């Protein structure tokens, strides 16, 4: 019996990113032994992501020297041994700088290894009657995409304990390609929804057009069109960024607008959250300061109670609650968004250039949020594996009123800021003929939490200056 008793649970890193060996406590006496092969709470405490196994498989091997080929699969695996002992070999077949990296070690019942998606996995039995077990976080599918590597590849140069010419290897494994001809495993796909909007444009600028990144407008994927279950092969996706929303704040107060706002901002988002949770996908959802009533004396923290004033804010709050049901989620709450498209700054610049002197609300206070900052924050949270939850993201700096911002746009555009007249919200909408949604007077969001993750929002004054300079060009 090769099993070592009395080990402490220990995590051991390997040269392959994400490939982690675990020493497992095994308790034995004259009757035999017992171990916890997979214990979620303890593994999470040792830094292993909750990979959500859905299937448990066992491969029993009669003879010493049984050798299985190097297969990279589109799911994560938790590999261990129930009886016997193996020599395991793993080769990184994922796209990237560690492609071709090799790690080998022996496993007995007191050791296990977490194998991330795209890392080639193989073994050779060192004892008879070896039971090789593995948990996976996706169901086997004939449509799944695999990558393979030849066991005898000269570049990997795996030092098999029993030479390959002395063991039985399947014809399929013998025919697998050498490393130079192996197909690299691409990253999980990223889906950006709302690709035609201001934030969608910024996300495309930030993420680029790599083959694994997909951008979808409402015409290409309508979240409110029915079941999303069959809209994509979701098992191939690792991240969904929902930049789509119904944002007609005033129209949302009409019967038709109310229906559309609830369908897009709440019901469709709930369906998206269910899909993400079912397939282990990280869901990023963009929220709004309109979930608050604006009555607070200071900046709103992420855990402040929501008190939306109008239909738009109510639907955004409902969408936030739906997204929070997904295990892997980031809710990015913003205010006063400025990007590539129609927005407040563009309007003020146009009025200044055309000689029109505007009346602008001066009793609503907040910070502008430029879409480049939102896109950067989303990528930062995802790539740094920040704790899931809600994060406020706006530009940094002193909060200002809409009127003060308008004055600054006029000044930066080379016009007299005194042409802007500040008025109250009530006065501004006094002559409106259609329904007007109530606005929060205080839209200032506290940035402490997102900054604690290492993200530094750009100062609003700096972003505004650069934006207006581009408009002048």
Active-site residue set: 71, 134
Distance CA 192, CA 244 (A): 9
Residue 47 has phi, psi (to 5 degrees) of 85, 10
Residue 72 tokens read as 């990279």
In this structure, how many other beta carbons lie within 10 angstroms of the beta carbon of residue 448? 10
Residue 407 Rama label (left phi>0; alpha psi -120 to 50; beta) = alpha
- Helix, strand, coil content of the chain in percent (nearest 5): 30, 25, 45
Residue 100 Rama label (left phi>0; alpha psi -120 to 50; beta) = left
79: closest CA among 41, 148, 32, 130?
130
Q: Residue 184 burial (CB < 10 Å; 0-12/13-18/19+)? A: middle
Residues 261 and 213: beta-carbon distance below 8 Å = no
Half-sphere exposure of 277 (CA within 13 A, CB side): 13
| Distance between start and end Cα atoms, the chain | 77
Alpha-carbon torsion angle 286, 373, 456, 48, nearest 10: 50
Distance CA 336, CA 444 (A): 10
């Amino acid at each position: 019996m090769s099993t070592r008793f009395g080990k402490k649970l220990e995590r051991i890193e390997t040269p392959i990113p994400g490939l982690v060996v675990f020493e497992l406590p095994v308790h034995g006496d004259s009757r035999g032994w017992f171990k916890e092969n997979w214990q979620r709470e303890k593994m999470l405490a040792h830094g292993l992501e909750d990979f959500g196994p859905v299937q448990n498989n066992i491969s029993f091997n009669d003879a010493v020297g049984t050798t299985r080929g190097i297969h990279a699969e589109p799911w994560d695996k938790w590999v261990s041994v129930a009886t016997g002992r193996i020599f395991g070999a793993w080769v990184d077949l994922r796209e990237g700088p560690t492609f071709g990296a090799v790690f080998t070690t022996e496993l007995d019942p007191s050791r296990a290894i977490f194998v991330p998606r795209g890392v080639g996995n193989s073994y050779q039995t060192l004892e008879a009657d070896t039971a090789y077990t593995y948990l996976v976080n996706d169901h086997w599918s004939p449509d799944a995409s695999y990558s393979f590597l030849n066991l005898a590849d000269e570049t990997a140069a795996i030092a098999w304990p029993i030479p390959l010419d002395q063991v039985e290897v399947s014809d399929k494994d013998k025919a697998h390609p050498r490393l130079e001809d192996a197909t690299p495993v691409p990253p999980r796909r990223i889906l950006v929804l709302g690709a035609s909007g201001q934030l969608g444009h910024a996300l495309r600028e930030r993420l680029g057009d790599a083959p694994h990144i997909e951008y979808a407008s409402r015409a290409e994927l309508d979240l409110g069109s029915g079941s999303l279950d069959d809209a994509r092969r979701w098992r191939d996706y690792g991240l969904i960024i929902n930049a789509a929303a119904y944002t007609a704040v005033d129209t949302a107060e009409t019967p038709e607008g109310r229906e559309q706002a609830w369908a897009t901002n709440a019901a469709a988002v709930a369906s998206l959250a269910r899909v993400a949770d079912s397939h282990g996908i990280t869901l990023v959802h963009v929220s709004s300061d309109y979930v608050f009533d604006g009555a607070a004396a200071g900046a709103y923290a992420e855990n402040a109670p929501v008190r939306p004033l109008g239909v738009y804010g109510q639907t955004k709050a409902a969408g936030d609650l739906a997204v929070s049901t997904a295990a892997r989620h980031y809710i990015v709450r913003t205010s006063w968004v400025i990007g590539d498209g129609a927005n407040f700054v563009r309007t003020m610049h146009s009025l200044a250039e055309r000689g029109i002197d505007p009346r602008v609300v001066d009793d609503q206070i907040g910070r502008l949020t430029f879409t480049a900052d939102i896109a950067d924050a989303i990528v930062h949270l995802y790539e740094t594996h920040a704790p899931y939850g809600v994060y406020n993201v706006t530009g940094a700096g002193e909060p200002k009123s809409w009127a003060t911002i308008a004055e600054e746009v006029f000044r930066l555009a080379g016009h007299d800021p005194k042409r802007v007249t500040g008025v109250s919200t009530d006065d501004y909408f006094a002559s409106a003929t259609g329904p007007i949604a109530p606005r929060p007077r205080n839209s200032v969001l506290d940035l402490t939490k997102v900054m604690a993750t290492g993200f530094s929002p750009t100062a609003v004054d700096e972003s505004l200056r650069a934006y207006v300079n581009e408009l002048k060009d």
